[in-house]
């Protein structure tokens, strides 16, 4: 390039200084836009139990457990994907497990498990091993293409099979109570395979030694105890546990339903209703039950006293409240049955954190509105959609197919004009904006910081730093491709405007002008600055970085 005269160079340098100043966090009170910087990691990171992480090597696809103390355990299983955390309560255990996807055959998959210390549920010679309610035992399984599963029990501490893999089902309760199925019959054995309850029943559900639900040969349900004594005759169509917290059981006969206490076999609710619902969720504290009778729905308490009259077409549990339906419209009752909103809405969409989101009629159409728990309107019915709990500060709204973020306090929209049909909140600096399930990372100034490649975007903590993790939209199963970005600061709207003016005034050489875009990234800014100064001054990249203290990390400049 032919060097320009001194005045022209000075004008260009002044323009480029705008770029340099924009690399600081604040210039004369001008706040810079939030930006990102793509980085390369050796692993994909997934949240684990407590402060641990699950890692997948980007090189060979191997899986690892990264403990909070920095130690790393390599996992040996051939896992297709990580599927999150399996809550221990599912197994009636205090411990959670990591859940991975493995191939069952060429067409199907199943979950397999790893404990919090990196111990993989695997026993050589068997198809699968699953957790039980005891840390000591694993449920063993064998399966091939021609037979169903066979089950046994493995002592992981003593490395031995304690119950052979010969049963059609096995449910471990404790060493003295193990329900097993052999053929069409179920019985109870102990850890030494001694028969405790004979194999005389089609199905067993153990509540306690004095309350065992059994399905007899006549395909009717009754109650027995551990001594095989009949407590309730085999004449009921259904007896099933209704609560995971207390031993309440539904009991059905002649298409009528009641409730029985599994602790003492006492009939709590007479067998006179067409339906009983939400027993487990609501009895704690209030002991209220949604009941159906004569094609109407109401609420009763555990003494079978009417709390809410049987005047509704339906009642559903929503959050800690009851949504009621009457004449095609919806209302809301609190957890004690008191009315919050009359049945005038199209639907109650959500009850969360003491706020209610409802879809209501407006001028022969529908809009969303938000209310507090006293029924007072917080957000008027002016939006086609509201996600009020997108974050503490912002809600996501949609009107005429365009999504936006709105400050709950000021009611001001983040974007002046939105072209996104869908928005996900990431944090108070970025959101995911997209159309047709393809999303880009966007800052709150409205700058798109990435192309619309991604299906999900989240925040993951990697070695104490909050990174943005963007999962590519792919058509293949178990094909995770994740890009990672540092959260940084970029050029301000002021700087972008000034540079744009300089370009319009022909103060910027063409090769630098063509490199500038409205959504230019910080590292791209740095590239322009370095190339310009190297061109016009007797300096080098290293000297520029040192002199101006420009924070270039993983820059594409080599």
What's the confidence (pLDDT) of residue 106?
78
Neighbours of 83 (CB within 10 A): 16
What's the confidence (pLDDT) of residue 5?
46
Task: Give how far the C-alpha of residue 306 lies from the chain's centroid of Cα atoms, to the nearest Å.
Answer: 38
Neighbours of 58 (CB within 10 A): 13
**DSSP letter string, 119-154:** -B---TTSSEEEE-SSTTEEEEEEEETTEEEEEEEE
The C-alpha atoms of residue 106 and residue 320 are separated, in whole angstroms, by 44
pLDDT at 7 over 50: no
What's the confidence (pLDDT) of residue 14?
53
Task: Give how far the C-alpha of residue 497 lies from the chain's centroid of Cα atoms, to the nearest Å.
Answer: 40
Which of 33-37, 202-206, 394-398 has the least mean pLDDT?
33-37
Task: Give how far the C-alpha of residue 175 lies from the chain's centroid of Cα atoms, to the nearest Å.
Answer: 35
What's the confidence (pLDDT) of residue 17?
54
Q: 411: phi > 0 → left, psi -120 to 50 → alpha, else beta; which?
A: left
The C-alpha atoms of residue 233 and residue 231 are separated, in whole angstroms, by 7
Q: What pTM does this model have?
A: 0.78
What's the confidence (pLDDT) of residue 25?
38
What's the mean pLDDT in 475-504? 77
The C-alpha atoms of residue 382 and residue 542 are separated, in whole angstroms, by 56
Q: Residue 197: which pLDDT band, with cuts at 50, 70 and 90?
A: very high
**Domain residue extents for the chain:** 1-33+492-558
Tokens standing for 148?
Answer: 């169903």
Q: Which residues pair with 222 in a beta bridge?
A: 214
Residue labelled with tokens 């875009």: 517
What are the backbone dihedrals phi and psi of residue 498, each rounded to the nearest 5 degrees, phi first?
A: -65, -40
Closest CA to 392 of 349, 431, 361, 425: 425
CB distance 277 to 266 below 8 Å: no
CB distance 88 to 74 below 8 Å: no
What radius of gyration, in Å, describes the C-alpha atoms of the chain? 32
pLDDT at 115 over 90: yes
Closest CA to 264 of 246, 291, 279: 246
The C-alpha atoms of residue 540 and residue 542 are separated, in whole angstroms, by 6
What's the confidence (pLDDT) of residue 516?
62
The C-alpha atoms of residue 101 and residue 78 are separated, in whole angstroms, by 9
pLDDT at 30 over 50: no
Tokens standing for 474?
Answer: 């792919």
The C-alpha atoms of residue 380 and residue 395 are separated, in whole angstroms, by 13
Tokens standing for 466?
Answer: 């909050």
What's the confidence (pLDDT) of residue 264?
84
Q: What is the mean pLDDT of the chain?
A: 86
Each residue's pLDDT tens digit, 299-341: 998 899 999 999 999 999 898 899 999 999 999 999 889 999 9
Q: Which residues pair with 482 in a beta bridge?
A: 471
Which of 147-151, 153-157, 479-483 has the least mean pLDDT?
147-151
What's the confidence (pLDDT) of residue 24?
41
In eight-state DSSP terms, residue 442 is E
pLDDT at 544 over 70: no
**DSSP letter string, 185-205:** EEEEE-TT--EEEEEEESEEE
Tokens standing for 324?
Answer: 């009621």
Task: Give how far the C-alpha of residue 412 lies from the chain's centroid of Cα atoms, to the nearest Å.
Answer: 29
pLDDT at 517 over 50: yes
Tokens standing for 66?
Answer: 């990264």
Each residue's pLDDT tens digit, 274-283: 999 877 664 4
Q: Residue 104: which pLDDT band, with cuts at 50, 70 and 90?
A: confident
CB distance 374 to 340 below 8 Å: yes
- CA neighbours closer than 13 Å in the CB half-sphere of residue 407: 10
Neighbours of 377 (CB within 10 A): 13
Number of H-type helices and E-type strands within the chain: 6, 47
Closest CA to 517 of 451, 456, 454, 438: 451
What's the mean pLDDT in 336-354? 95
Tokens standing for 234?
Answer: 């085999």
What's the mean pLDDT in 453-475? 92
């Amino acid at each position: 390039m032919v060097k320009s005269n001194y005045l022209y160079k000075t004008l260009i340098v002044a323009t480029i200084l705008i770029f340099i100043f924009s690399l600081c966090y604040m210039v004369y009170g001008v706040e810079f836009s939030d930006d990102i910087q793509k980085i390369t990691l050796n692993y994909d990171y997934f949240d684990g139990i407590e402060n641990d992480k699950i890692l997948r090597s980007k090189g060979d696809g191997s899986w690892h457990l990264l403990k909070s103390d920095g130690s790393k355990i390599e996992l040996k299983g051939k896992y297709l994907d990580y599927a999150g955390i399996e809550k221990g309560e599912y197994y009636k255990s205090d411990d959670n497990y990591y859940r991975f996807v493995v191939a069952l055959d060429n067409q199907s998959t199943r979950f397999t498990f790893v404990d919090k210390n990196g111990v993989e549920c695997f026993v050589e010679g068997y198809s699968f091993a699953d957790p039980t309610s005891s840390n000591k035992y694993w449920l063993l399984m064998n399966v091939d293409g021609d037979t169903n599963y066979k089950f046994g029990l493995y002592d992981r501490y003593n490395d031995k099979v304690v119950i052979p893999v010969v049963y059609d089902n096995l449910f471990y309760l404790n060493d003295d109570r193990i329900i097993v199925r052999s053929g069409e019959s179920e019985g109870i054995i102990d850890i030494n395979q001694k028969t405790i309850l004979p194999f005389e029943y089609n199905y067993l559900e153990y509540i306690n030694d004095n309350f065992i639900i059994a399905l007899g040969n006549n395909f009717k349900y009754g109650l027995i105890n551990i001594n095989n004594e009949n407590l309730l005759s085999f004449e009921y169509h259904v007896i099933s546990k209704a609560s995971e917290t207390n031993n309440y059981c539904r009991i059905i006969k002649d298409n009528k339903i009641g409730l029985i206490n599994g602790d003492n076999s006492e009939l709590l609710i007479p067998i006179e209703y067409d339906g009983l619902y939400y027993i487990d969720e609501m009895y704690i504290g209030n002991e209220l039950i949604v009941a159906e009778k004569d094609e109407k729905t109401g609420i009763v308490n555990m003494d079978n006293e009417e709390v809410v009259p049987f005047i509704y077409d339906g009642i559903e549990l929503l959050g800690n409240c009851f949504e009621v339906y009457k004449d095609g419209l919806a209302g809301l009752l609190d957890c004690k049955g008191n009315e919050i909103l009359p049945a005038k809405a199209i639907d109650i969409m959500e009850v969360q954190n003491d706020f209610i989101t409802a879809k209501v009629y407006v001028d022969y159409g529908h809009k969303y509105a938000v209310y507090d728990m006293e029924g007072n309107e917080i957000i008027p019915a002016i939006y086609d959609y509201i996600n009020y709990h997108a974050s503490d500060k912002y809600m996501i709204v949609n009107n005429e197919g365009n999504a936006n973020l709105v400050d709950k306090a000021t009611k001001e929209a983040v974007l002046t004009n939105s072209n996104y049909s869908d928005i996900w909140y990431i944090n108070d600096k970025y959101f995911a904006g997209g159309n047709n399930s393809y999303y880009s990372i966007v800052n709150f100034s409205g700058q798109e910081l990435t192309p619309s490649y991604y299906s999900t975007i989240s925040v993951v903590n990697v070695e104490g730093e909050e990174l943005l993790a963007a999962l590519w939209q792919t058509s293949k199963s178990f094909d995770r491709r994740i890009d990672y970005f540092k959260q940084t600061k970029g050029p301000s709207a002021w700087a972008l405007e000034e540079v744009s003016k300089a370009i319009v005034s022909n103060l910027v050489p063409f090769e630098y002008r063509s490199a500038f875009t409205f959504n230019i990234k910080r590292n791209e800014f740095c590239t322009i600055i370095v190339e310009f100064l190297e061109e016009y001054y007797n300096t080098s990249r290293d000297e520029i970085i040192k002199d101006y203290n420009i924070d270039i990390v993983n820059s594409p400049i080599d």
